[in-house]
A = this chain, B = another copy of it.
Amino acid sequence: MDERIRHASVRPSMSVDELLAQMRGCAFGAGRLAECAGIYADMVSDPDCTRFLGLAGAMVPAGMREVVGTMLDHGHVSVLVTTGANMVHDLIEATGGAHLRGSLSEDDCRLREQGMNRIYDVYLPDEHFATFEAWMQEALEGLGRETVTAPELFSYLGSRIKDPGSILRRAHLRGVPVFCPAFGDSMVGLQAWLFSQTRRMAVDSVGELRRFLDLCYAAKRAGVLVVGGGVPKNYIFQSMLLTERGFDYAMQLTMDRPETGGLSGATLEEAQSWGKLRADTRHVTVYCDATIALPIIVAHAMGRVEGERGMGGGGG
């Protein structure tokens, strides 16, 4: 340490890469964001690294669907662990629905009367759920198995999606498994319940864990980007703990705070006390809205990887 802070300078039409280069000499959030972008680019350039992406929050409603899709297309992700919500919102768009820009000042009871479901400053009209439900019930009809795991189900759903923007479709095409440890806690889970009213259907979380741990044990090297904490963060961390090799790279983008003692806001240093991270794991937490930080670090890594591989258009 003990190097000087170098003050960031900005100029018109500067690139995101230049911005990060300028932030590299800074402290606080700017310094952390630049450090994270560097670790992330190294991680996606590491050919032996199994790359975990933990996706909490409501990234799809907020407009991050294409960024996540690009991460998949460019090989940034080996294994996706997500809340059900992110996949539900992916499916809603894949089945023709749309998220709308909303307002915080509208009365929520009036929104209800208008059939508008609010997610912070995003609105989702009721009618899109009807389309989603019809599509889901038809899909579950064709599944042909009584017991599945969440990654099996999501791969199957991804194979039926036509929308090229879909995260589930892109994960399926790339062979990236989609884990969803709180499967029941989502509209997809509720659709499975609805289906199970007339057919037999079970979604097995132990089988899911078995497959996940096989991937963990198979990893030569491992890295993780946690977006927003929650179940995906803990699921990835507790599993790598079993392998006793821990992570080589670990990053989290979060607005949560450590003081409540919850896992979402827990520091990555705390994870070292558990052995989830090794003493020499390169790691950083960026305390920043993920919708701001994620596009920046992904854009940067795309440039780095392209530069190294001498490619023009990325991995897609």
The chain A residues found within 8 Å of chain B, CB to CB, are: 1-17, 19, 22-23, 25-31, 33, 56-58, 61-67, 70, 85, 98-103, 105, 107-109, 111-112, 116-123, 147, 165, 181-187, 189-190, 192-193, 196, 201-210, 212-213, 228, 230-231, 234-235, 238-239, 242, 255-264, 266, 269-275, 279, 287-293, 295-296, 298-299, 302-303, 306-307, 314
Contacts and interface: CB of A to CB of B under 8 A. Distances in A.
A293 B289 CA distance: 11
A98 B5 contact: yes
Given A10-B299, A119-B261, A261-B291, 6 more contacts: A2-B102, A9-B67, A57-B262, A184-B206, A201-B206, A204-B204
A303 B13 contact: yes
Copies in the complex: 4
Q: Identify which of A30, A118, A165, A289 gathers the most chain B CB atoms within 10 Å of its CB.
A: A289
A85 B263 CA distance: 10
Nearest to A187: B238
8 contacts: A8-B64, A10-B298, A26-B62, A112-B272, A118-B270, A181-B185, A182-B235, A204-B205
Contacts of A102: 1-2, 27
A180 to B, nearest CB: 9
Given A64-B7, A99-B5, A270-B108, A121 B27 contact: yes
Given A15-B15, A105-B269, A255 B263 contact: no
Nearest to A232: B185
Contacts of A22: 295
B108 A269 contact: yes
Contacts of A234: 85, 185-186
